[in-house]
Structure 1
């Protein structure tokens, strides 16, 4: 059935994401995309340091391609490495960094606020950080930090919100970390910008208004004269 095919492909994608996250952790892994092509399977990997993946003479990326072909049964995998333009605006990368800070012993509030401030300082329109698990004490709880504009549902949220997820393994248990970022170039509904009008354009618009005003005045004069003429004709 077609439903089983979608489930199977989804499981493959999740396993691939986990595998690349472990293998490319030092390179600053920030997510991946899988696309089927006539030549095979194209895997686009977004990382902070592309040189660490490619390696000397492309040996590292060739070994990674062979491992993916053998372990994950991909049809002729081809890896395309893309650098992350602004690492601090990548939700996946920042989620991984936040999880590492918690694992190193940082207090979850201090780590979360530091990450949130760093993201907003790089021009993000909005950011939300959610941490769940045994943050303090034996019971699980949730901590949420929000700054700026954030959208949670609808088509707009799918288009403008970049989502990242990671886990921190601590002595007390697993802590889940979610990072949502609205990037600076996102088109926010209802937002508008004031545009300065060129002086020549402004003068042309003003002249056009004056011409229309003169035309309207002449039309009104003709209408008044016509009405006066009709009134005189009736009196005679």
Structure 2
């Protein structure tokens, strides 16, 4: 068998086993499984919210599941280890099943979605996303998303770090698919970095140095071979001092002579330099004043142009802001869609309002409810 086919069959078998556990252990709060094939047999680690229901009374249920795994999936000596989920709100599979059950019991999808994602974030998750696909309301299928925090959608971190769970809610209008993605609080993301604080080096205490190391660092001075060499070195040192004194005296005399020459020539050079500096300063001031005048004239002309280019706000749509939740941007979008007055909003349907740019189904419903509370006669700008 080709290697590619082996990988495909192994993945299909894992998926079938996972679906089998999800059906058998739905009431026990199934939270996923890990499967590893070893020479000693097949090791399966089950995560469940209620391990007691998985094991059963006297281990009856776990023995039944083990025998079915051997018969249906031809597993070699399966050994199941059941572990309890410490924080169910951080397990994506458990959360997805809970949300599906809540929708089947009649919870409104927005209330169920916001409540569930708030519980996930309160449990300490770094980020979460809930996706509902299907006929959540009405006869048309659509996609609803609820986001909190930080979530990864692609790349290796989305496969290794993000915990994903899928659930199903069977409703009268049809089936609603539930997808939950959670980044746990201890996840190490690749784009995280930490800045180390500066260390105070003055507070550090140097280590004690042993005597041998001190001698090695300092070294020992070499003693002269005999007394004659020592006396010759002293004489050379004294001669060196006398020669250095003579050289220092000659350098001082040369510096005094140079200072006298500079003082004689400096008086003649400074006078023309001062006149040149005064002429340059006068020219610079004149140029600066001319530049300032040009800048002021250009600023006034630009201000006039900006004032002339500002558009005059039209009266159309001004009365729409009287509706609760409608600002200037939404009012402009409604006017562009053809709803210029509150009366137009009241006469239109929610589907017509949702076709305006930036206006969804939820906001259209809100605008419709707010417009019913506004009297068009009281709104300034309407007839």
- TM-score relative to the length of structure 1: 0.81
Q: Which residue of 2 aligns with 1:72?
A: 73
1:25 is paired with a residue whose SS is coil
Q: Distance in 1 between matches of 2:159 and 2:248?
A: 73
Tell me, which stretches of 5 or more residues in structure 2 are unaligned? 205-243, 253-383
1:60 is paired with a residue whose SS is helix
Q: Which residue of 2 aligns with 1:140?
A: 141
CA offset at residue 181 of structure 1? 0.5
CA offset at residue 2 of structure 1? 2.2
Q: Which residue of 2 aligns with 1:11?
A: 12
Q: Which residue of 2 aligns with 1:213?
A: none
Structural RMSD (CA): 2.4
Asked if 1:206 is matched to 2:202, the reply is: yes
Asked if 1:174 is matched to 2:175, the reply is: yes
Q: Which residue of 2 aligns with 1:123?
A: 124
Q: Distance in 1 between matches of 2:66 and 2:203?
A: 67
CA offset at residue 148 of structure 1? 0.5
Moved more, 1-10 or 166-175: 1-10
Distance 1:81 1:114, change over 3 A: same
- Greater gyration radius: 2
Asked if 1:154 is matched to 2:155, the reply is: yes
Q: Which residue of 1 aligns with 2:239?
A: none
| Matching of residues 213-224 of structure 1 within 5 Å | none
Asked if 1:86 is matched to 2:82, the reply is: no
Distance 1:194 1:234, change over 3 A: same
- TM-score relative to the length of structure 2: 0.51
Q: Distance in 2 between matches of 1:86 and 1:158?
A: 21
Q: Distance in 2 between matches of 1:193 and 1:184?
A: 17
Tell me, which stretches of 5 or more residues in structure 1 are unaligned? 209-228
1:144 is paired with a residue whose SS is strand
- Larger relative helix fraction: 2
Q: Which residue of 2 aligns with 1:55?
A: 56
Q: Distance in 1 between matches of 2:158 and 2:196?
A: 27
Deviations 1:29-82 (A, max 9, x none): 001111111111111110011111112322221111011111222222111111
Q: Which residue of 2 aligns with 1:101?
A: 102
Moved more, 66-75 or 85-94: 66-75
Distance 1:69 1:194, change over 3 A: same
CA offset at residue 17 of structure 1? 1.1
Q: Which has the higher contact order (CA 8 A, sep 6+)?
A: 1
Deviations 1:165-200 (A, max 9, x none): 111111111111111111111123443567788xxx
CA offset at residue 234 of structure 1? 9.9
CA offset at residue 120 of structure 1? 0.6
Q: Distance in 2 between matches of 1:92 and 1:52?
A: 17
1:187 is paired with a residue whose SS is coil
Q: Which residue of 1 aligns with 2:42?
A: 41
Q: Distance in 1 between matches of 2:121 and 2:43?
A: 33
Distance 1:207 1:45, change over 3 A: closer
Moved more, 26-35 or 182-191: 182-191
Q: Which residue of 2 aligns with 1:185?
A: 186
Distance 1:235 1:75, change over 3 A: same
